[in-house]
Structure 1
Amino acid sequence: MTLMTRTGPAGRWLVLLSVCLAAMTMPLSFTGPAVALSRIAADLGGSPLALNWVTNAFMLTFGAGLMAAGALADNHGRKRIFLAGLAVYLLAALGCMLAPDIVWFDMFRALQGIGGAAAFAGGASALAQEFDGQSRLRAFSFLGTSFGIGLAFGPVASGLLIDTFGWRAIFLLVAALGVAAAALGLRTVTESRDPDATGLDWAGAGTFTIALAALTYGVLQAPQSGWADPFVLALLGVAAVGFAAFVIVERRVRRPMLDLTLFRFPRFVGVQFLAAAPAYAFVVLLVLLPIRFIGIEGMSEIKAGQLMICLSGPLLILPLLAGQAARWIAPATICGVGLLVAAAGLVWLSRVPAADGALVAPLVLTASPSMSPQG
């Protein structure tokens, strides 16, 4: 049960526009700094580990905060969490733009991830309350397309902004889209909450965040210090203990942040693997390839952004094609074939020289099927 008053038909589509504008900024927030990393390093300095946190700080806090933000939205109001998240997200983006050194920049990136998680969780929850039936499916397909637009055009837009105005300009683009989303959401999103919500699972959120942070820090520190380094081993140990504690906590609370009983169902486990596989085959490349193209191969930011369209552009089309194909072909078959083709693309990509023409086909092959399961 949810307490809310729905908006009219026209107002619902304005709610959708607000949430989609906010969603469009999320991919920009990790592809843009990846393209700009060499310029950021030149201006702010920092060790290789500190520069790794430029992207990882955002993705860590965003991923760790999503479940907790969803619970907060149910308890305190979806509109309130959506707008509060956008406010934190925008202030952190401005902080990144004005950061005096890499340490401050990384802290603002972590804060930006927290705000982004709250904005996305609150906005998606509000969207689910405004639409139902087939209109809800269409609304969430538009939300997915917004992510696709951000992924497809984020690298090249970031490259153009960096080349013309400098790396700080990419955060102005994020801020402009965020301000538009907040202004529209303030006027159109209807407040709603779950009257049966029992509060945030603080123990679950805390243990999960600590475990994920320790694991990320340990994996980033290991190449510099070695996997046998005592500090790295301690971090990995903290991560293992944290994840074990998270499982224990979630089994005992009345309304867990993550219902672990779902893992008894093979179909649920399969869907989680289908979400994880494209992340490893696709999202990681969105971050690493611009760094290689610019920092190692010596490409310009614009050229690197253009090449990245080969990887991210298919996201605009293939989920729709996969959805249509599912009318005649079993979704499991589409997913399985797609992942096999993605694997072939990754092998091909690992063997070609880093030349413009040679990269196009393997990038398209890697990106295209990796998005099919989500379609």
Structure 2
Amino acid sequence: MTKPLSLPEPHPTLPAHPQRWIILFSVCLAGLIMPINFTGPAVSLPAIATSLGGSAVALNWVTNAFMLTFGCSLMIAGALADRFGRKRIFVSGLAVLTLSSLIMLAIRDIIAFDLIRALQGFAAAAAFAGGTAGLAQVFDGAERTKAFSLLGTTFGVGLAFGPVMAGFLVQHFGWHSIFTSVSLLSAIALATGTRYMHESRDPAAAKLDWPGAVAFTLALTLLTYAIIQAPESGWNSHGIIALFCSALLSMLAFILIERRVRRPMLDLSLFRYPRFVGVQFLAAAPAYSYVVLLVLLPLRFIGVEGYSPLDTGIIMLALSAPLLVLPMLAGLLAHRFSAGIIASVGLLICAFGLVGLAQYAPGQPFYRLILPLLIIGCGISLPWGLMDGLAVSVVPKERAGMATGIFSTIRVAGEGIALAVVGALLATLVERHLPVMPLADTVAGAHRLAMGDLPQAAALLKIDAVALKQSYEAAFHSLLYILALLAAISGGIVFVFLRHTSPSPLATLKSIADEPAE
């Protein structure tokens, strides 16, 4: 029998930071920018494609470039925050995010656009890792739990209202206005953080593990590129196979490096403990059951079904609005039930909602979307309400940068890989459902249709829009069933690792380390 998880006790001699709530405002505002910077371009992707052009692969990188660099650099940013200062990394990330968003206004080429998006991912990782590690230094005990809960709620607000805001801005002011808004919010968070956050470091922090960082980044980059390129080049082509093999070798190199360095970015020994493993599975689980929908559904609603960006944002509100309220319910339930039970039930609810969403076909009244989207949103809110609290308490606060870096890297890297995999899978399914014999433009047309570019797909495939919509619907229908199955499997895995009843979902590294490995 494992020991129950418990909240960290307040430090009896730690004086309260006088500006801690202003610092929390700054970090929460930075946190609000992250989901907006993700969902905004997803809603505006059709408008970006019309303005900048580019291939389907290049357009895929609009979202994937941000997610890839964000996921790759979170552990690096956490280590840098502990070594060189949490405030310095936080402020530097916000400064780059502010300037890069302004540069977006002058971009006229999709490749340059993707490169700036990649830079924004690095900047967002620095702001997130530095900000969350900085929060852990000024809050303790119950206030610390409350602060991170508010940060999680802020993410929920960004996810819920980001598509609505983006839809309104795109419809009335064009897609450039999204990045103007991001720049403004970043500047406010930057000014507040610069003025009120005090510098802090981990005095025992070692030098950054550059070989490990390079190997990890290379592995994720090669894997993501291979998945995105596979529908166009062919899954069994020599180039794609070589990319997958190179990604695998890079990941093996990363593991070997982390086992040899004195203070690694990723402490592999933690994976001996079931609860730590369960927390990491919990971090990755929402990617396939929820996050991918934030990109795929706007492409479908705008590009295939013809909804306006604003209407699409309003519809998407049903998917994300539960995140504003229900994560708090998960926190209350955690006092009576184990994290495994709560999270697995939530993921099973998501699976049920995905099956319900599969019954919706283009052309049906939009209100038929509301119930399945609400079910998915309610389901994902339960594990979502546990994740941040679990992550911040798995190591002592002096290593908070590494803790948030590991957890957030797995969550964001999982989301980036999920986006690439699901996008490639949808393109493959669309190709199989097309009512034509294989032609030179079949793959390109299927990829365009999967991206929601119905006019370009019709031009390439020489098929009328009605038939293309039917092919797309059949492919999307199959995809949702696959996602439902993955959500159910994820729920089972999370239950196995986090199944033991406990009064609270939070644990310190000491409480985990004292448990025998199962």
TM-score, normalization: structure 1?
0.96
- The partner residue of 2:369 within 343, 351, 359 is 359
Deviations 1:240-283 (A, max 9, x none): 11111111011111111011111111111112111211122111
**Structure-2 separation of matches of 1:173 and 1:195:** 37
Deviation at 1:7, TM superposition (A): 8.6
The answer to whether 1:310 aligns with 2:311 is no
**Structure-1 separation of matches of 2:272 and 2:25:** 37
Paired letter, 1:248: L
- The partner residue of 1:298 within 306, 314, 322 is 306
- The partner residue of 2:135 within 111, 114, 127 is 127
Task: Give 1:117's aligned residue.
Answer: 125
Paired letter, 2:101: A
**Structure-2 separation of matches of 1:92 and 1:133:** 37
Task: Give 1:368's aligned residue.
Answer: 378
- TM alignment of 1:56-135, pairs within 5 A: 56-135=64-143
Deviations 1:150-187 (A, max 9, x none): 10100000000111100000011111110000000011
- The partner residue of 1:198 within 206, 222, 232 is 206
Task: Work out the percentage of aligned pairs sharing the same amino acid.
Answer: 56
SS in 2 for 1:51: helix
Are the equivalent residues in 1 in contact too, given 2:23–2:196 (CA < 8 A)?
A: yes
Are the equivalent residues in 1 in contact too, given 2:258–2:268 (CA < 8 A)?
A: yes
The answer to whether 1:247 aligns with 2:280 is no
Task: Give 1:3's aligned residue.
Answer: none
Task: Give 1:336's aligned residue.
Answer: 344
Deviation at 1:328, TM superposition (A): 2.8
Deviation at 1:78, TM superposition (A): 0.6
Task: Give 2:55's aligned residue.
Answer: 47
Q: Report which stretch shifted further, 207-216 or 83-92.
A: 83-92
- TM alignment of 1:203-218, pairs within 5 A: 203-218=211-226
**Structure-2 separation of matches of 1:292 and 1:225:** 24
Q: Report which stretch shifted further, 357-366 or 148-157.
A: 357-366
Task: Give 2:182's aligned residue.
Answer: 174
Deviation at 1:297, TM superposition (A): 1.1
**Structure-2 separation of matches of 1:283 and 1:98:** 29
Deviation at 1:374, TM superposition (A): 2.8
Deviations 1:97-140 (A, max 9, x none): 22111000000000000000000000001100011111100110
Are the equivalent residues in 2 in contact too, given 1:311–1:366 (CA < 8 A)?
A: yes
Paired letter, 1:254: R
Are the equivalent residues in 1 in contact too, given 2:17–2:138 (CA < 8 A)?
A: no
**Structure-2 separation of matches of 1:364 and 1:230:** 43
Deviations 1:341-373 (A, max 9, x none): 111111221232244111111111112112211
Are the equivalent residues in 2 in contact too, given 1:75–1:193 (CA < 8 A)?
A: yes
Task: Give 2:456's aligned residue.
Answer: none
Deviation at 1:10, TM superposition (A): 4.2
**Structure-1 separation of matches of 2:104 and 2:249:** 33
* Runs of 4+ residues deviating >3 angstroms: 6-10
- TM alignment of 1:266-277, pairs within 5 A: 266-277=274-285
Q: Report which stretch shifted further, 93-102 or 293-302.
A: 93-102
**Structure-1 separation of matches of 2:116 and 2:154:** 24
Task: Give 2:233's aligned residue.
Answer: 225
TM-score, normalization: structure 2?
0.70
Are the equivalent residues in 2 in contact too, given 1:207–1:243 (CA < 8 A)?
A: yes
Deviation at 1:9, TM superposition (A): 4.5
Deviation at 1:329, TM superposition (A): 2.9
Q: Which runs of 5+ in 1 are unaligned?
A: 1-5
Are the equivalent residues in 2 in contact too, given 1:84–1:115 (CA < 8 A)?
A: yes
- Give the paired residue count: 370
**Structure-2 separation of matches of 1:8 and 1:91:** 34
SS in 2 for 1:191: coil
- The partner residue of 2:268 within 260, 267, 285 is 260
**Structure-2 separation of matches of 1:188 and 1:304:** 38
Q: Report which stretch shifted further, 88-97 or 110-119.
A: 88-97
Are the equivalent residues in 1 in contact too, given 2:22–2:196 (CA < 8 A)?
A: yes
Higher helix share goes to which structure?
Answer: 1
Deviations 1:301-350 (A, max 9, x none): 01110111111111111100111122233332212211111111112212
Pairwise CA RMSD of aligned residues?
1.2
Task: Give 2:150's aligned residue.
Answer: 142
Are the equivalent residues in 2 in contact too, given 1:90–1:112 (CA < 8 A)?
A: no
**Structure-1 separation of matches of 2:15 and 2:345:** 42
**Structure-1 separation of matches of 2:19 and 2:251:** 43
